[in-house]
Chains A and B, each alone.
Chain A
Amino acid sequence: MSSTLVFAAMFVSLLLLLLSGMPLAFVLISLAVLFTILLWGLDALVLTVLQTYDVMTSDVLLAIPLYVLMASILQRSGIIEALYKAMELWFRRLPGGLAVGTIAICTVMAAMTGIVGAAVAAMGILALPSMLRRGYDEKLALGVICAGGTLGILIPPSIITIVYAATAQISVGKMFAAGIVPGMVLSGLYVSYVVIRTMLKPSLAPAPDNIKISWLEMFGSLKSLFLPTLIVFSVLGSIYAGIATPTEAAAVGVVGAMLSALLQGQFTYANLSDAAMDTLRVTTMIMWITIGAKIFVSIFTGTGGADSLLMFIENLELNRWLVLLAMMGILVLLGLFLDEIGIILLCVPVFMPIIGAFGFDPVWFGVLFLITAQMAYITPPFGYTLFYIKGVLPPGIGMETVYRAILPFLVLQILALILFMLFPDLVTWLPNQLSQRLVS
């Protein structure tokens, strides 16, 4: 069978089997088993065991349970509630203040945790009712929560970034550093949008309430900033001061999260075992998909599929930017059907040789991919963020409102994507500065 035909058969059967509702991990494993037998016979199946063992002993992927545990403990530690209270006190007098504050908290949470669900779930519970009660426009309120929540994909630490770095075989620390400036730019874009919108149309965000709050209380609330700051600096600081690898920094972060929970009086057995079970569920899901995807991709590369695809594209003699746009287009399209982790594991090994051949920087490409992943997270039908927000919508607001709410933010994300495509230095400058300092 020619490799192009194998390629087509594999992807078509992947999409068809996925629609049956079978879990992605098992779809990938069963198709991999089937195609291995068809192409190479039963004896080649030992490949499945070797790939499984490979995933089981990956020291880069070891970071995943640690970062998820850190997020799960922080989620139950009460410090997000405390942060939100402080933000309300300080931002309530500004026009659109709570919406701006929500983005600010999402940014801080993105820098503390590596998973998207934590920020969206917390803001959906805390910020949404608070903004609606004060008469904020529901679309503005929903939009900032959805868009702000996805900042965690780009701002380090981030689970998706770890999976990308592991698959593309580049340094996790470098990839983390590459997300910082783009993450801040996006966060800044969201804030500017909210401020400009509410200045042009003050009815979107109501006049602040005039309850007098003493300065003592105002400054007292600031102590809630202390623990998050400490955690962000201990994790990112230990990576970029050359003290720890990203995996080790995650363990440091877990200890920091436990201390925060302790100080908040939330360090209970129930919280800890809930956090442990959550962590196990997320990690297990990711790792089983990784096993399936690695076997699946190794068949594709084993039949010479990646090489012939590269040759095919080089023979077309296309402009390199057209090739880049085509790859981004495929990623966006797959984002409609597949889980982001699955997309990385399936596409990156195939795309990496092409990226290399056309002289693109894999770190820069990774950031562009992470921005498209953010778009996929807030767009129907498979936006993860939408599932979280669905659970906390008050009666009277339907998903159509949410879909309309995310539109302006989607435009901002596209703007950011174009900006970073045109000015790669915005992405690559910081990782190049920091990469000499990393522990390898």
Chain B
Amino acid sequence: MSIINGYCKSITQLNRWLAITASSLVFIMVAVISFEVIARYFFDAPTVWALELSTLLLGPYFLLAGPYFLHTAGHVNVDILYSKLSPRIAAFTDLGIYAVIVAISCVLIYQSIPVAQNAIESGETSFSSWNPPIWPVKALIPVAFSLLLLQSIAEFFTAIHRAGYSTEAQT
């Protein structure tokens, strides 16, 4: 039990840390885009890289934070029925929900690895006038879905614990 507990804690800790790190990326976007506006409007010297760089940061920004918000219930849902369930039924419903998320994470990892591999092997770039490498962004997709898999497994274990706990409480 303590191994599972430790697993849940460390995965949540890892994903929280990633979310906090990702949250600071928005300030880089603000700085880069403001620089572009000033350079273009006041100095008539538009850059080729500012907008593209900020756009490349958008993916890591929200993709890496997704797993953590699964833990904090930050994704919007419809709770009209769910909120009326008893703790035990709610725990069993959660079991089902996280099992589905585990399954789709596996599908998405399996599908995104070849795409990422292709991009890495060819050293894919964007072919714009700035032409930055874009393989890191593609490589990030399987990484983010793996983190989602690890977090949903952790949430699944927590739901088992809750289901078991509320059964004991009733007997």
Distance between Cα atoms of A23 and B82 in the complex (Å): 11
Q: A381: which of B62, B80, B111 is its contact (CB, 8 Å)?
A: B80
Instruction: Answer whether A62 and B58 are a contact pair too, CB < 8 Å, given A69-B30, A276-B23.
Output: yes
Instruction: Answer whether A276 and B27 are a contact pair too, CB < 8 Å, given A57-B137, A252-B37, A285-B76.
Output: yes
Total interface residues on B, CB under 8 Å, equals 56
Distance between Cα atoms of A66 and B51 in the complex (Å): 13
Look across to chain B and name the residue whose beta carbon is closest to the beta carbon of A439.
Answer: B40
Distance between Cα atoms of A22 and B93 in the complex (Å): 9
Among A79-87, A209-217, A242-250, A430-438, the one that faces the other chain is A242-250
Instruction: Answer whether A252 and B34 are a contact pair too, CB < 8 Å, given A59-B51, A59-B55, A62-B54.
Output: yes
Instruction: Answer whether A58 and B55 are a contact pair too, CB < 8 Å, given A24-B75, A276-B27, A277-B23.
Output: yes
Instruction: Answer whether A251 and B58 are a contact pair too, CB < 8 Å, given A20-B82, A279-B23.
Output: no
Contact digits for B73-106, partner A, Cβ 8 Å, 1 yes 0 no = 0111111111100000010010011001101100
Residues of B within 8 A of A29 (CB): 104, 108
Q: Is the CB of A22 within 8 A of B26?
A: no
Q: Is the CB of A243 within 8 A of B29?
A: no
Q: Is the CB of B62 within 8 A of A46?
A: no
Check B41 for interface membership: any CB of A closer than 8 A: yes
**Interface set, chain A 258-280, CB cutoff 8 A to B:** 273, 276-277, 279-280
Look across to chain B and name the residue whose beta carbon is closest to the beta carbon of A69.
Answer: B26
Check A284 for interface membership: any CB of B closer than 8 A: yes
Distance between Cα atoms of A277 and B65 in the complex (Å): 10
Instruction: Answer whether A26 and B104 are a contact pair too, CB < 8 Å, given A19-B78, A45-B111, A279-B23.
Output: yes
Q: Is the CB of A57 within 8 A of B56?
A: yes
Query: A68 to chain B: closest CB distance in Å?
Result: 9
Contact digits for B29-65, partner A, Cβ 8 Å, 1 yes 0 no = 1100110110001000000000100111011011101
Main secondary structure of the interface of B (DSSP, over half): helix
Check A354 for interface membership: any CB of B closer than 8 A: no
Instruction: Answer whether A20 and B97 are a contact pair too, CB < 8 Å, given A56-B58, A58-B58, A280-B61.
Output: yes
Contact digits for B1-35, partner A, Cβ 8 Å, 1 yes 0 no = 00000000000000000011011101101100110
Look across to chain A and name the residue whose beta carbon is closest to the beta carbon of B19.
Answer: A280
Residues of B within 8 A of A18 (CB): 77-78
Residues of A within 8 A of B81 (CB): 19-21
Query: B115 to chain A: closest CB distance in Å?
Result: 5
Q: Is the CB of A248 within 8 A of B55?
A: no
Instruction: Answer whether A66 and B29 are a contact pair too, CB < 8 Å, given A21-B82, A284-B66, A284-B74.
Output: yes
Instruction: Answer whether A283 and B34 are a contact pair too, CB < 8 Å, given A33-B104, A62-B29.
Output: no
Distance between Cα atoms of A65 and B22 in the complex (Å): 12
Q: Is the CB of A49 within 8 A of B61?
A: no
Instruction: Answer whether A24 and B76 are a contact pair too, CB < 8 Å, given A19-B81, A283-B62.
Output: yes
Check B112 for interface membership: any CB of A closer than 8 A: yes
Q: Is the CB of A33 within 8 A of B107?
A: yes
Check B69 for interface membership: any CB of A closer than 8 A: yes
Distance between Cα atoms of A58 and B93 in the complex (Å): 35
Check A121 for interface membership: any CB of B closer than 8 A: no
Distance between Cα atoms of A66 and B27 in the complex (Å): 9
Check A25 for interface membership: any CB of B closer than 8 A: yes
Kindly name the residue among B33, B114, B115, B137 whose own CB sees the greatest number of chain A CB atoms within 10 A. B33
Distance between Cα atoms of A252 and B79 in the complex (Å): 38
Residues of B within 8 A of A19 (CB): 78, 80-82
Q: Is the CB of A61 within 8 A of B58?
A: yes
Residues of B within 8 A of A303 (CB): none
Q: Is the CB of A26 within 8 A of B23?
A: no
Distance between Cα atoms of A381 and B82 in the complex (Å): 14
Q: A276: which of B26, B54, B58, B115 is its contact (CB, 8 Å)?
A: B26
Distance between Cα atoms of A19 and B97 in the complex (Å): 11
Distance between Cα atoms of A388 and B63 in the complex (Å): 27
Q: Is the CB of A251 within 8 A of B66?
A: no
Chain B residues within 8 Å of A, Cβ to Cβ: 19-20, 22-24, 26-27, 29-30, 33-34, 36-37, 41, 51, 54-56, 58-59, 61-63, 65-66, 69-70, 72, 74-83, 90, 93, 96-97, 100-101, 103-104, 107-108, 111-112, 114-115, 134, 137-138, 141
Could you pull out 19 A-B pairs where Cβ atoms are within 8 angstroms? A20-B97, A22-B97, A23-B75, A24-B78, A25-B75, A26-B101, A48-B108, A49-B111, A50-B115, A52-B112, A53-B138, A62-B55, A65-B61, A251-B33, A251-B37, A255-B34, A276-B27, A283-B62, A381-B80
Given contacts A53-B59, A56-B141, A254-B30, 7 further A-B contacts (CB under 8 A): A23-B75, A23-B77, A26-B75, A33-B104, A65-B62, A243-B37, A280-B19
